[in-house]
Structure 1
Amino acid sequence: MHANKLANPGPLGLMGFGMTTILLNIHNAGFFPVTTAIVAMGIFYGGLAQVIAGILEFKKGNTFGVTAFTSYGFFWMTLVGIWLIPSIGHVEATDSTFLGIYLALWGIFTLFMFFGTLRANRGLQFVFASLTVLFFMLSVGNITGNKALLNVAGFEGIICGASAIYLAMAEVLNEQFGRTVLPIGAPKAK
């Protein structure tokens, strides 16, 4: 009898996160304004694709994966909402101080999620450590109005997003070839 093997939804979620993070942080680094490319990626790939990956992690029984992917998927959707909802009226736009508080809450959440990676591979640890730093840099930059810090955070965010893309591709290629093609720093055996 052949066991039903479920596919790994992690690479989908990591790619949705990584590519969207890079696009937004190219803006944060000062290269481009926020454009429809960032907004659309935030809704569909950073948002919807990560939520789908989270639901699939639920099916696999992975509490960390479902919590991370669904949370960050909805992070992207709420961020787009913060940008777009004021344009329909009825709601005051979020000022930079309150946006900083919003980002600080995500930083706290991400710090705790980082602790959850300490038994995982080094690649995942790097993604969550760099994301924690990114959220706090963006938080402080928004609260203080420090444009230079926001630009530096943009470069750090590009690195964070690239690390997620690397990990996604490593998981895909390593599984496809049945060997380590791209190393991810496997955790030590218990």
Structure 2
Amino acid sequence: MPDLEKAQEGTLGNPGPLGLFSFASTTLILSLFNVQARHITTPNLVVGMALFCGGLAQLLAGMWEFAVGNTFGATAFSSYGAFWLSFATIFIPDSGIGAAYAAAGGNQEDDAIAIFLTSWMIVTFLFFLASLRKNVGLSALFFFLTLTFMLLAVGDYQRKEKVTKAGGGLGIVTAFIAYYVGFAEMMAPEDAFQLPLISTAKRRID
């Protein structure tokens, strides 16, 4: 997502760590709920995180990435900020979404959420392809996030709790990769140590 060199060239700091940490923390919390940590089966506490941390903070990071000229980071952060805002809306009673499906009966809500997650799996896979020319850290992040969305979608399509838990497990892995990449981007060249991201950018031959 972030492009440290472009951020340093502009008047703004690097917004990447803000977006990555916000994404990581919200993803970690929801993923822990998906694996039913501490026997939690109701994920509604994630709504606040999804609105303000995963949603608003990432959306702001995306706008700042536009300002420093990083189209990839801007598109990714803004997209996942919108994802978290829309996901949180599902669990807000006044949105009427849950009530509409409850009135309809059957398993329509599970199928609808599965379709929602499938669309984000496709978007994430496209980000994964784009990240192959960035660095190994980002590629790993989008690879595991694609698998996470896939398993969560399958879990809802098939009503398979074990598959959803597996998706939650991969979500935890994804969150810690995002923490790593965010921390690596936050470290300045003059800091005592650097975390490697292993650039895969195509080098220009002059």
1:187 equivalent in structure 2? 200
- Please tell me whether residue 117 in structure 1 is matched to residue 131 in structure 2: yes
SS of the residue 1:56 aligns to: helix
Alignment of structure 1 residues 69-84 onto 2, 5 Å: 69-84=77-92
Instruction: Tell whether the 8 Å contact from 2:44 to 2:91 is kept in structure 1 after alignment.
Output: no
The equivalent position to 2:46 in structure 1, one of 35, 38, 41, is 38
Alignment of structure 1 residues 127-166 onto 2, 5 Å: 127-166=141-180
Instruction: Tell whether the 8 Å contact from 2:24 to 2:178 is kept in structure 1 after alignment.
Output: yes
d(CA) in 1 for partners of 2:10, 2:116: 41
Instruction: Letter of the 2:196 partner, please give it.
Output: P
Gaps of 5+ in 1: none
2:3 equivalent in structure 1? none
d(CA) in 2 for partners of 1:92, 1:150: 24
2:23 equivalent in structure 1? 17
Query: For the structure 1 residues 169 and 90, does the alpha-carbon distance in structure 2 shift closer, same or farther, using more than 3 Å as the test?
Result: closer
Q: How far 1:89 sits from its partner (Å)?
A: 7.6
Q: Would you say how many aligned residue pairs link Structure 1 and Structure 2? A: 187
Structure 1 vs Structure 2 CA RMSD: 2.1
d(CA) in 1 for partners of 2:91, 2:66: 30
Instruction: Letter of the 1:161 partner, please give it.
Output: A
d(CA) in 2 for partners of 1:35, 1:137: 17
The equivalent position to 1:167 in structure 2, one of 163, 181, 189, is 181
1:31-86 CA-partner distances (Å, limit 9, x unpaired): 12345641111110100000000000111121111111011001001011011146
Gaps of 5+ in 2: 1-8, 102-107
- Please tell me whether residue 60 in structure 1 is matched to residue 68 in structure 2: yes
Instruction: Letter of the 2:173 partner, please give it.
Output: I
SS of the residue 2:194 aligns to: coil
d(CA) in 2 for partners of 1:47, 1:88: 20
Moved over 6 A (4+): none
- TM-score normalised by the chain length of structure 2: 0.83
- TM-score normalised by the chain length of structure 1: 0.90
